[in-house]
Structure formats: C-alpha cells, structure tokens
Chains A and B, each alone.
Chain A
Amino acid sequence: MVRQIRPLATLCRYAVLIVILTIMIFPLLWMFRVSLLGPGGVGFERLISGAFTLANYLSLFRSSGMGRYLFNSSLVAVVVVAGNILFCFMVAYALARYRSLSNRLLFISVILVLMIPVHIVIIPMYVLMVRAGLYDTYFALILPWLVNPIGIFLVKQYIESIPPSMEEAARIDGAGEFRILFQIVMPLCKPALAVLAIQVFFTNWNSFLFPFILTSSDELRTLPVGLALLQGHQAIDWQHLMAGSSIAVLPVLALFAILQRQVVSGITAGAVKQ
C-alpha cells in the first residue's frame, strides 16, 4: 500500500521531534558549556558570549582527587569487565551444555537475583565487607560484580544457538575441556561477549550505591562517588563540578557514538539491574 506524502504532517513531526531532542540534550550541552567557562556566573549571556577555557579541567586534576577517581573508575571497570567476560562465559557454558536438575536450580538462582531488589543487600554487604576486612579496599569494589546474572543469561542464549557437534567432535579427538572452552567455543561467542562487555562497562562506570557505601577514604573513590561528595565542598563552583561531570560522561558518550548497536542491545538487556 502506498502512503501519500503529506508535507504538513511531516513538518509537524519534525518540529515535535526537534523540541523533544532539545529537551533531552540541553542539560548535557549545558554541562559541557559550563565546564568550559571561566570563573563567575553561569547565566545565559555568559553561556553565549563567555570565552572557552580548559582551566577548570586542569585545576581539577591538580587540586582535587579527580585524577585518582578517574584511575579508580578505570581500574575497577577494566577488572570487572574482564572478570565478567571470563566468568559469565564459563557459567553460561555450563548452563547451556550440561542439563540436570541441579543445573536447573542454578538457573533459577540466576533468575532469582534478577528479581531481588538491591536495597535489601546494602546492609548485609556492608557488614560482610567489614567482617571480611575488605571494607574500603579495591576488593570491595570488584569482588561482588565479577559475574552477573544478565550476562550469564545473554551468553547462555548465544551458546545454545551454536550446535554442540564441534565440541563433541573435539572431545572425541581427545581435546581437553579448557582447550575446547577457550579455543573453540569462546571465539564463536565474540558478538555476545562484546555486548556483555559493554553492558558491564556502562553499569559499572556509572554505579554509585555500592562503591559509595563500601569505601570511606578519598583514595578509593570512583568518579561518581568522588563527584557526589565533591558537591559537598563549599569551595567548589559549578564550572569545576561540571568539568568533573564531563570527565565521567565523555567515555560513555564516545563508546555510545562508536558502538551504538551493541550499546543499545547491552543496555536494554542490562538495565534491569542497576
């Protein structure tokens, strides 16, 4: 069926879309603009006519812990992403290829965690980390998040779409399990593992609650925690706060711009849990 083209309707559609886009994008544009503004007010005239400067970024790295926060966020993200690629893959493989009652129970545990609201975990996690002597260490930031149920789910579904004949043939030829796992199956799972990596990176990079409650010293703060607590300082102005915010947002935006498809499938698979 051929739809007739109605110029007025098309015009209206674009007008509405542009208005929505402005509303959605404006706060972020404001953040970048303010971060590049010299000291003083952040009023309308200054946003338009004020000169651009990188001074806020430089002084943030020099005088506050921003460099350290950035390092911590990156370190934790890299380790957690690597851990998830390895562990989610291992668990997913076991779930996909070994079917039994106990395995189904395991699968139920994955589903269960998807439904547990995280707030119930706040206090026990705090007590556990304090008792284990891991409170306020990198371990507290990393250990709980090395494998996640959404990731397992994602990779399991992918492995199930691969016929098992190749692995069985390799097994008959006498190849060891780990060789089969990492040299035959893992390379086949690359697309799913890429989506997994992005999902984990985004969740981890932006996560605030647990890094916040499980650390206390400035040296261990990640970007979101550092930013949220910087705000408490009387001395900090919007220019610096927005420069710090831009540092936290830029890697995520860059990744989104480059890998839109994977980001979208990763986030829509992953936003169930924050």
Chain B
Amino acid sequence: MRLSRSTAWLLALPWVVTFGAFWLFPVVYSLIVGFTDYQLLDPQWRWIGWDNYRHLLTDPDFRNALENTFIFVIGTIPFTTVISLGMALLLNRKFPGRGFFRSGFFVPSITSLVVIALIFTSLYQRGGYVAMLAEMVGLTVPEYGFLQDRGTALYAIMAMDVWMSVGYYMLVFLSGLKAIPDELYEAAEISGAGRVRQFFSITLPLLKPTMLFVLVINSIKSFQVFIEIFVMTKGKFDTMTAVYFVYDRGLTTGFAFGYASAAAYILLVIIAVFSVAQFLMLRRRTPLW
C-alpha cells in the first residue's frame, strides 16, 4: 500500500505555495515589468518594449557596474580557487592538528558577511592593520585608506572576498580529494612519478567535477556581489556593481522598477551564459591540463 495521491500533494503544498509566490512569480514579474516604464511614484505604467534594455546598454553607470562586476568575478575566482585548493592539499593527509587547522580556516565562512565587511572597513583605513602591513612591504596607502580611493576600493573588497571564501571551497576540495583512491598514488609512486607529476596527472584530472562545482557556484555568487559594497562603500569610489545598480535604481531614488528589473535580467542572462560556458569547458573529454 502506498502513499495516496491527494496526501502527497497536501504534503507538498508548502513548497508549491512558496515556489509559486516567492520564486516563479518574481521571475515572471521581473521579465514583464522589464518591458514597462513602471515606477513606484508613477503607477500609470505603459509598455515600452525593449526601451529599458536599449537605454541600459548605453547607460554609462550600468556599463560601469557591469565592468566592475566582471573585474570582481574574473579577479577573485582564480585566487579563491588556487588558494583553497592549496589549502586542501595541505590538509589532505592525516597529521596531528589537522582538524584544528581545518576548523580555523573555515571560521570566516560561517561569520556574517556584514560583520566581516565592518571589520575590514576598519582594517583598510589609514592606520588600520592591513594598511600598516601594506606600508611595511613598501606599498603606498591612499590618503583616506584603501576604501576611499577609486584606484583601490574595488580591489580591497575583492581581496576580502577571497579571504572570506577560501575556507568554504577548501572544504569542498577536501571532500573531492577524499574520493580519489590512494592506490592511484601508490601505483604512480612505484612507477617513479614525483609529487608534481602525480598532482597534474592524477589529482587535477580527477578533481574535475569538484572544480566545476567550485567555479560555477563561486561565479554565480560573485556576479551577485552586493552586501560588501553596501556596507563598505555604498557603491562610491568606482565600486558600483550590477546588483548594487539594481538596488540603487529600483529601491532607492525613483524606485524605477521597470528599469531595474531589466538590468536584473541582463545580469541573469550573463550568469546563465557564464555557467553554461564553464560547464561545457569542463565537460570536454580531452583533459584541460
């Protein structure tokens, strides 16, 4: 005797409602509103076709926001991936204190992003510790600290993002590494392959699925960078990113729902294309490395 159809649907009801109201509706609503000039202050909306999209593509602020977003994504992902993989390799074999270090590295990943952004706002100030370290290695610190300078603000936030996310991706890589059978390394050792050779011929190829997961998840998250920007610079000093642009146009001055929704959809398409491209690249049968 099995679960009856009506009971099954009754049980699934909370998800059906949540999915419909808070996911399906918003995605459809954004798409539609993106083709109107709907604003909170001017409820008399009308269809304007592709106008929002046309304006966005020539809006210097939006182009700048997209550019910053790309810098953020492309500038952080290689560092986050390589550093977290390195950390995972350091912690892969059993040794005394391994669990302690693993937990320590992971702590930033469970800390509230708002709190991290507040801490680094202070560390990046003139006289803050990061600024002091930078001076010690001979870098010049901008007059009002790293966050209040057009040349450094975005990069400072990117560095913080790398620091904060490596612990999580390290854990993901560790679980990927655990799945690689020891016999492979033993066989390689017997046939005289060194550590470096083992890494490039065994570890990396077998980590491909993990690598794909890390790259896709990390780029989806990085494309949506917002909280750090809000807390640290409010989009000033050339740190406006795409989601901050959506927030700024849609939910602050003017409440231009139509315009902001169109911007959100452009970012959605970019994220989708980027994810599919990564997926196809790593799915290829020929090894990438």
- A118-B224, A123-B261 given; A147·B11 CB < 8 A: no
A–B complex contacts, Cβ < 8 Å, 27 sampled? A23-B163, A27-B120, A28-B111, A34-B122, A42-B122, A90-B12, A94-B8, A98-B5, A98-B8, A106-B12, A106-B15, A119-B242, A119-B264, A120-B267, A121-B22, A121-B23, A121-B30, A122-B247, A122-B250, A123-B26, A123-B257, A128-B22, A172-B1, A256-B110, A264-B171, A267-B110, A268-B172
Does A267 lie within 8 Å of B119, measured CB to CB? no
CB distance from A168 to the nearest CB of B (A): 5
B8, B163, B221, B223: residue with the most chain A Cβ atoms closer than 10 Å: B8
Interface string of A232-255 (1 = CB under 8 A from B): 000000100110010011001100
CB distance from B115 to the nearest CB of A (A): 4
A64 within 8 A of B: no
- A106-165, CB < 8 A from B: 106, 109-110, 112-113, 115-128, 143-144, 146-147, 152
How many inter-chain contacts with C-beta < 8 Å in the A-B complex?
243
Does B112 lie within 8 Å of A248, measured CB to CB? yes
Does A94 lie within 8 Å of B11, measured CB to CB? yes
Does B115 lie within 8 Å of A248, measured CB to CB? yes
Does A97 lie within 8 Å of B8, measured CB to CB? yes
Does A127 lie within 8 Å of B257, measured CB to CB? yes
A42 to B132, CA, bound (A): 13
B47 within 8 A of A: no
A residues bordering B, Cβ < 8 Å?
Answer: 1, 10, 13-14, 16-17, 20-21, 23-28, 30-31, 34, 42-44, 87, 90-91, 93-95, 97-98, 100, 103, 106, 109-110, 112-113, 115-128, 143-144, 146-147, 152, 168, 171-172, 177, 181, 202, 205-206, 208-209, 212-213, 223-225, 227-228, 231, 238, 241-242, 245, 248-249, 252-253, 256, 260, 263-264, 267-268, 271-272, 274
CB distance from A219 to the nearest CB of B (A): 19
Query: Inside 8 A of B247's CB, which chain A residues have their CB?
Result: 122, 213
CB distance from B126 to the nearest CB of A (A): 12
Does B11 lie within 8 Å of A90, measured CB to CB? yes
B7, B97, B168: residue with the most chain A Cβ atoms closer than 10 Å: B7
Does A119 lie within 8 Å of B243, measured CB to CB? yes
Does B103 lie within 8 Å of A260, measured CB to CB? yes
B108 within 8 A of A: yes
Does B118 lie within 8 Å of A231, measured CB to CB? yes
CB distance from B146 to the nearest CB of A (A): 14
CB distance from A21 to the nearest CB of B (A): 5
B194 within 8 A of A: no
